[in-house]
Structure 1
Amino acid sequence: MNAPHAQEISTVFSELGSRPGGLSTAEAAATREQVGLNSLPQAVEETWGQRLLRQFRDPMIYVLLAAAVVTALLGEVVDTIVIAAVVIINALVGFVQEGKAANALAAIRDMLSPSSEVLRDGTWVTVDSAELVPGDVVRLRPGDKVPADLRLTETASLRLEESALTGESVPTDKQTGSVAEEADLGDRTSMAFSGTTVAAGTGVGVITATGGATQIGHITTMLGQVEAAETPLTRSMGRFSSLLAVGAVLLAVLMIGVSVLIYDTSWGEVLMSAIGFAVAAIPEGLPAVMAITLALGVQKMAARNAITRRLTSVETLGSVTTICTDKTGTLTRNEMTVRAVHTRNHTYEVSGTGYAPEGRLLLDATVVTLADHPDLARMAQVAAYANDAGVEKRDGRWVLTGEPTDGGLRTFALKAGVSEPARRLSEVPFDSEFKYMATLDDTEQGPVIHLKGAPDRLLERCDRQSSPDGGTEPLDRAYWESMIEDFGARGLRVLAAAWRRGAGLSAVDVADIDAGGFVFLGLYGIIDPPRDEVLDAVRTVQEAGVRVRMITGDHASTASAIAREVGLAGHRAITGTELETATDSELQTIVRDHDVFARTSPEHKLRLVRALQANGEVVAMTGDGVNDAPSLKQADVGVAMGIKGTEATKDAADIVLADDNFATIAAAMKMGRTIYDNLRKAIVFMLPTNGAQGLVIFVAMLVGMTLPITPLQVLWVNLITAVTLSLALSFEPAEAGIMRRRPRDPAAALLDSEAILRILYVSLLIGGATIAVFQYLQMNGAPLDVARTIAVNTLVVGQIFYLFSARFSRVSSLRQELFTTNPVSWLCVGIMLALQLAFAYVPFMQAAFGTTSVGLLSWGAPLLAGVVVFAAVEVDKLLRRRV
């Protein structure tokens, strides 16, 4: 139907074929046949089998699987079992660490009301909300969840908590009058939307949309259309794996051709040698090392209150170039706070944030008391008396009972020292129609009416104002309107206070208030303040080269004020209306030039994230409402609030902040960068092992010599290196200055020219030393098993010495930190040596791998090779530092 929020109630009923008396049971059943149940689409979950098979989608794994098949056909059972075991272990590590797939749609379904009061056959009955249809008339009471989208037909002080859908930081007042068709979602005051909650008052409305046609249903549709973005790490690893796999296969084919055509080697021997080369060239342990490194990062992040749902998201945080953050509950506390109080005498500042009554009242940075400032005392009394909210300490936290704005006023009164309320004789509850609350209180001066509410409504009912001398004077409306504008420009939500003596009254009603005669006392400036730690956190991520953008459903003035406070200086806030009219290409320009976006809908947030990604940005998106879920899923890293976030948001996100703290994102970014550094160190460390082994077999086959190491020995070296030495690099701490460097280019290759050069010369050194040792021993009559055992020892010891150098990418390894910062590395070296000694000296290992015991002096050559490798890398680092 046409926009129901912009139509008169009678027109809405007419288009729906309904009436104020509701539908009949037969009419509802007929409509349900056409539109279906009032439920949201079911998500298709990934099965555990699909998740397990996905672990094998890697070009390197394909080559290993092919190698296992060939060895099986050749009858090499041991080789087949070992290769298959490597593949299966890698898959299981990824499978276990990844956990279950996210299902955001199920969490959104949980937001819907289970039952509702509906007018059927002229009688109010309670039915299952799934049975509701467009045209049904529904009644809303405090605490109810709205079961479908409603056009409101009756309201009585109705206020809805819509922050999960619109991002509005305070409950929205609802009324029955139509609003402009182009009104933003948060400004459609004539509508009640499915999944929101009744904060106060009552109402009646006619259902205009159910199930997938509702605003929340629209969000589930967007969620289903959003495909999870591929992370920079998976893109880089995909390219790297493909290149490595193709290179290994091509070189293996070349070796086969040379061996068969030139040396007339048998096909069985050639194929086993080619498989040995492929196994040597491919770092089988890399997927496991990557998964374990990421898992360790996940554990460390969990200790810092960042719960990670997808392993690769840990590293992606380190690549982020832009953080798009919600305002309410993320940058701010989602706790309304009186920041300033203005009377005709002074403007007082109020320190402290949130509902904890801890703060001071300041005038020109000097603490003041109510005894010396009766004008401030009057404002505190109105805040305390015309108020139904309460704050109390539970489990170490100050908790609000009642409306957030009233809670802020109650906290201000407690800070001022007004804790005991006067005896209330009567009250006029707040109503969205007249936008004020009044109480008749029995005070020491006799009955007094305390009035608080919207400034314009109170100014209409006042003819005098408090004067600086403590008396009263004629109301200067222009002055107060100017002050209201000043407070609004600061992003403050403005309420006013007034009072009047109630002599002779025992009760008060709306007519008494509308009669006027009040004295205007002043203004409260209220805001949802930034978290205390946010300013430092924003500065930290900005120093790391990451741009912070605020995307909120709140008003532009409020958004701009918070942006200034947290350090997001710059251009004005762009509103949802402006985003609505912008094309995709125009939006890409807008997001380059602006950091603050207000009055945004879920569609706007999704478009903004896509525009940033189209500009080449790696985007982290934070949020807590269901309106944030599609954009969180679209972002490279979706970050949900764990305390105040909806379940739908958490399930759509990659990371959940257990403390709802923006500062935790900065800590997680540092962890992400550290993890990427360590992964890169592991790759630069592992590849020379494979390069050296591949070089040994490649050279041996090209020149027709006996293989210095067998395919099974190759697998042994790869496995023990991966599970010991490579894993040690996962525990390296962050390098100095890691949060003062720019984010890495997501399009950049995993390995730069420096890394590639190091891999090449270390491979040549270790591989060359292995071939040289083997040839020397063969030429001097050493048995084949002795020569091969010492050759493998040379490979292993060379890797141990290279590990010490690889722990520090650019600085010298000859430093104290080599022995103190990563004790796990020394434990891994010890385990590696123990395994290698078993490989050489334990009988059953000798039988399995074709090795033999060697004398103590035979370790001299491996040690010399290791020292040469260490010295070469250290000289390389020294030259690069000087250049």
Structure 2
Amino acid sequence: MPNELPTGLALAEAAERLRRDGPNELGATQRRGLAGIVGEVVREPMFLLLLGAGGIYAVMGDMREAVVLLGFVVIIMAVTVLQERRTDRALDALRDLSSPRALALRGGKAVRIPGREVVKGDVLLLAEGDRIPADGVLLQVHELAADESLLTGESEPVPKRAAGERVFAGTLVVSGQGGMRVEATGSHTELGRIGASLQDIGLQASPLREEVARLTRRLLAVGLALCALLVALFWLLRGDALQALLAGITLAMGVLPQEFPVIMIVFLALAARRLAAQQVLTRRLNAIETLGQTTVLAVDKTGTLTLNRMAMAALSVNGQAFDVRGMRDAALPEIFHELLEYAVLASEIEPHDPMEQAFHRLAAAQLAGTEHLHPSWALAREYELAPELLAMSHLWRERGRSDDTVAAKGAPEAIAELCHLDAAALEAVRAEAAELADQGLRVLAVAKARHPAHRDWPAVQHDFDFTWLGLVALADPLRPEVPQAVATCHRAGIRVLMITGDHPRTAQAIAGQAGLDASRVITGEELEALSGKDLVRVAGEASVFARMRPRQKLALVEALKARGDVVAMTGDGVNDAPALKAAHIGIAMGQRGTDVAREAASLVLLHDDFASIVTAIHRGRRTFVNLRRALTYTVAVHVPIVGLALLPVMLGLPVVLAPMHIAFLELVIDPACSLVFEAEQGGDDLMGQPPRRRAESLLPLGSVLQSLLQGLLATALVMGLYAWLQTSAKLAQLAPAAAFTALVAANAALILPSRTGGRRWARLFTGLSGVSRLVVAATIAALFVATGVPAVALLFGFAALPPALWLGCVAAGFSMAVPFELARRWLGPERHGVLALAQRG
């Protein structure tokens, strides 16, 4: 494979081609336009009820009421459309992030770009696991094979043996490396021409969404029954069919739980957007709800717990070790030159692996100008790393020489097997490797062989006559934030498992530094030898797993699931995809991960660090807590609406609420739910609680009882005030406005205890977010205009309240914050759910 590729497009030229040709997308996007959103909003039951009420008012000749209702239709529609657009923009951002990535040469530099930004003429670098983003022609080929089953239906990979062969968008590089020039993008590709389109991210079916749907249906059934009861009572007691129908519509609008599905999509979409801002991409939105249930977090060592910045630490030949870290400007002793020479020969010519890059850096500094570097040699054959032999070999050919040179590197035990070391030599190698591994170093062995150039190459590495050269050790420092993040997970009741392909002693040393229980290390072979109950038992006992292969990772995930654990697992390679898919939450590495791993995963870490996973778990818990609080608040504020619709009819009092009043209340409820609660921090102790049980309900009995009690308290206040004012001839005309003012103020006051957690009273009135303050202030200001300004109050059918009475009603409503808080402490999930979880933990 030649070393040189074209430098690629200049940045300015690439930007111009992207503007001219459009993004590299395989068809029209499925994003909704403004007209589509408006059409969906108009078909909502709430708007149909508003329009129906307006029509009844028009039939009755009350055009003022009809026009006011029409105004509310416009306002609520505008608010709803803005909210929908905000959600769509969040999902659009996620779709853009989740498109395949491409490594393009731009101005001679390799840059990682979204697949949609690939343009015609781009030069792309391909590696195993990449999803090819466009059609093109190969410029370089190195053992490359592509899975083209998406286009051809053939399951066998198609080998690409020479430059000039074509590759196609949507196909997968299953082995090897290469470079290509893009010749067609978007709908001009073969995939585009057959009408395929990229998968987009949407709200997947999930237990939480199904639970919300069930809750919505139940409340809807209750609401319809109450509406029928109210219409019958009104008609029987007052004999006015149109008024009875209006009363029924009013109650239907008040009971209709239309907010629930909206709250669900808004919370999950905005949580995903917030995670994306913290460098965690959510590919499946339902992963956010599962994050809060995570009980086991299984992570790679390299690049997740460590920095993935490999640096040479030591070289060892014939039992003589040399610490490279202390060299500074000193020269590498001659005895170690051959070992470093063959470590480079066993690596890629232009390596992407940090370990191989470390070999090249040290060789460039220490072997330059010596006979140990071979830029003129040609790589003739590569023997890949295989599950059955953790070693790889490169066969090099030099023009005019009778023998080819073979260089091998890999796990010390694998290289020892290739070299057929005797028992004494093998024991010495093991002891030396263990001594280096105990320092937390990654240890590899290197070997060499010769092969006659005129003979056919053997099929397997074992057929070469290898000679042992020595050991190389590399340091990959632990990320500084890892110990604290691991401690946070343990405090949150989450077991952290480290899974690595490294030597058990290396794994044990790094695990100890990270704060994991390193008293027991299970190797992949030991794990594979177990079955049934023993495998499940070991999965629940050990925290460190070394020399793990992909199939063993999958077995570990299945064993953890059999224990009842909710498993989050990281991976980056093609072979990690089954384990990622099997885990409840698969987490792919965005920087070093392959496209296959990304597509199998639910989350992608754009920066491959462990702290990002802990951040995602915190966000998942926070979203669930805030969602529960929003739904609890929503149920609570609907209770007094039902009470004010039913009780006056039953008590023979004038009707308080009309459809326009319900429309005003909807303008309070929706922003409170979707803005106030979504922005809340969720409590300081979120990572101090055990994981949420999988069977735990979104609205447990405690939350439902809390909502009902808070709603009944508000109903008692408002109905008591209304009935008392009705006893005075002078105040009776002010009673509807006063009751409505107290109701809206009580709904605003209910935000205060609904957004807090814990037992401290100070939290009731402190720590309000900017969004909360804005929503409460806007609600009170709108309420003053609606009930305190005569001209506007008249539109609502109210007599404007005198300032003193208006302030008294607002004060009465806000005074309910204290009994609301007492109800939360007595019945809420902080008492029943969290305490039960703590006892279980």
Sort the TM-score into its range (normalised by shorter chain).
0.5 to 0.7
Q: Does 1:799 align with 2:747?
A: yes
Please tell me whether the aligned partners of residues 389 and 410 of structure 1 are also in contact (alpha carbons under 8 angstroms): no
| Candidates 646, 651, 658, aligned match of 1:698 | 646
Task: State the one-letter code of the partner of 2:716.
Answer: G
Please tell me whether the aligned partners of residues 256 and 270 of structure 1 are also in contact (alpha carbons under 8 angstroms): yes
Task: State the one-letter code of the partner of 1:870.
Answer: A
1:533-552 to 2 correspondences below 5 Å? 533-549=481-497
SS in 2 for 1:197: strand
- Determine the structure 2 residue equivalent to 1:737: 685
- Determine the structure 2 residue equivalent to 1:775: 723
| Candidates 246, 257, 263, aligned match of 2:221 | 246
| Candidates 248, 255, 268, aligned match of 2:242 | 268
Cα deviation digits, residues 151-195 of structure 1 (max 9, x gap): xxxxxxxxxxxxxx9xxxxxxxxxxxxxxxxxxxxxxxxxxx953
Instruction: Quickly say closer, same or farther: Cα 1:404–1:866, change in 2 above 3 A.
Output: closer
Q: 2:765, 2:796 → 1: CA distance?
A: 34
SS in 2 for 1:671: helix
Instruction: Quickly say closer, same or farther: Cα 1:735–1:486, change in 2 above 3 A.
Output: same
Q: How big is the shift at 1:409? A: 2.9
- Determine the structure 1 residue equivalent to 2:161: 140
Instruction: Quickly say closer, same or farther: Cα 1:587–1:519, change in 2 above 3 A.
Output: closer
| Candidates 613, 627, 651, aligned match of 1:679 | 627
Q: How big is the shift at 1:630? A: 6.4
| Candidates 833, 847, 860, aligned match of 2:780 | 833
SS in 2 for 1:744: coil
Q: Does 1:234 align with 2:209?
A: yes
Instruction: Quickly say closer, same or farther: Cα 1:480–1:663, change in 2 above 3 A.
Output: same
Q: 1:751, 1:457 → 2: CA distance?
A: 55
Q: 1:618, 1:56 → 2: CA distance?
A: 40
Instruction: Quickly say closer, same or farther: Cα 1:806–1:324, change in 2 above 3 A.
Output: same
Q: 2:292, 2:371 → 1: CA distance?
A: 58
Cα deviation digits, residues 376-433 of structure 1 (max 9, x gap): 8446544555565899xxxxxxx9747655433345678xx84755355868777657
1:417-456 to 2 correspondences below 5 Å? 418=366, 422=370, 435=393
Q: Does 1:812 align with 2:760?
A: yes
- Determine the structure 2 residue equivalent to 1:407: 357
Q: 1:386, 1:198 → 2: CA distance?
A: 21
1:400-549 to 2 correspondences below 5 Å? 401=351, 405-411=355-361, 418=366, 422=370, 435=393, 477=425, 480-483=428-431, 486=434, 492-496=442-446, 522-526=470-474, 531=479, 533-549=481-497
Task: State the one-letter code of the partner of 2:760.
Answer: S
- Determine the structure 2 residue equivalent to 1:256: 231
SS in 1 for 2:174: coil
Q: 2:174, 2:307 → 1: CA distance?
A: 23
Q: 1:574, 1:458 → 2: CA distance?
A: 18
- RMSD over aligned Cα atoms: 5.9
Instruction: Quickly say closer, same or farther: Cα 1:593–1:401, change in 2 above 3 A.
Output: closer
Please tell me whether Structure 1 or Structure 2 has the larger radius of gyration of its CA atoms: 1
Q: How big is the shift at 1:793? A: 0.8
- Determine the structure 1 residue equivalent to 2:771: 824
Q: How big is the shift at 1:477? A: 3.2
Please tell me whether the aligned partners of residues 626 and 677 of structure 2 are also in contact (alpha carbons under 8 angstroms): yes
| Candidates 276, 279, 292, aligned match of 1:302 | 276
Q: Does 1:655 align with 2:634?
A: no
Instruction: Quickly say closer, same or farther: Cα 1:833–1:698, change in 2 above 3 A.
Output: same
Q: 1:666, 1:51 → 2: CA distance?
A: 37
Cα deviation digits, residues 553-600 of structure 1 (max 9, x gap): x58969966984653755624569959x979x9998886677659765
- Determine the structure 2 residue equivalent to 1:155: none
Q: 2:351, 2:285 → 1: CA distance?
A: 39
Q: How many residues matched? A: 709
Please tell me whether the aligned partners of residues 681 and 806 of structure 1 are also in contact (alpha carbons under 8 angstroms): yes
Q: Which has the higher contact order (CA 8 A, sep 6+)?
A: 1
Q: Does 1:748 align with 2:696?
A: yes
Q: How big is the shift at 1:830? A: 1.7
Q: How big is the shift at 1:276? A: 1.4
Give the TM-score taking structure 1 as reference length: 0.64
Task: State the one-letter code of the partner of 1:787.
Answer: A
Q: Percent identity?
A: 23
Q: Does 1:857 align with 2:804?
A: yes
Please tell me whether the aligned partners of residues 691 and 763 of structure 1 are also in contact (alpha carbons under 8 angstroms): yes
Give the TM-score taking structure 2 as reference length: 0.67
Q: For structure 1, list consecutive stretches of 5 or more residues without a partner in the other structure.
A: 1-41, 119-126, 149-164, 166-192, 201-210, 213-219, 351-359, 362-367, 392-398, 441-448, 465-473, 500-507
SS in 2 for 1:195: strand
SS in 1 for 2:816: helix
Task: State the one-letter code of the partner of 1:110.
Answer: I
| Candidates 560, 570, 578, aligned match of 1:622 | 570
- Determine the structure 1 residue equivalent to 2:107: none
Instruction: Quickly say closer, same or farther: Cα 1:233–1:481, change in 2 above 3 A.
Output: same
Please tell me whether the aligned partners of residues 484 and 494 of structure 1 are also in contact (alpha carbons under 8 angstroms): no
- Determine the structure 2 residue equivalent to 1:364: none
Q: 1:435, 1:572 → 2: CA distance?
A: 28
Select between 819-828 and 405-414 the one with higher mean Cα deviation.
Answer: 405-414
Please tell me whether the aligned partners of residues 382 and 452 of structure 1 are also in contact (alpha carbons under 8 angstroms): no
Instruction: Quickly say closer, same or farther: Cα 1:145–1:859, change in 2 above 3 A.
Output: same
Q: How big is the shift at 1:647? A: 4.0
Q: 1:129, 1:273 → 2: CA distance?
A: 58
- Determine the structure 2 residue equivalent to 1:572: 522
Please tell me whether the aligned partners of residues 113 and 129 of structure 1 are also in contact (alpha carbons under 8 angstroms): no
SS in 1 for 2:656: coil
Q: For structure 2, list consecutive stretches of 5 or more residues without a partner in the other structure.
A: 1-24, 59-65, 102-114, 116-129, 141-147, 180-189, 384-391, 399-404, 456-463, 836-841
Task: State the one-letter code of the partner of 1:98.
Answer: L
Please tell me whether the aligned partners of residues 306 and 476 of structure 2 are also in contact (alpha carbons under 8 angstroms): yes
- Determine the structure 2 residue equivalent to 1:18: none
Select between 803-812 and 379-388 the one with higher mean Cα deviation.
Answer: 379-388
- Determine the structure 1 residue equivalent to 2:15: none
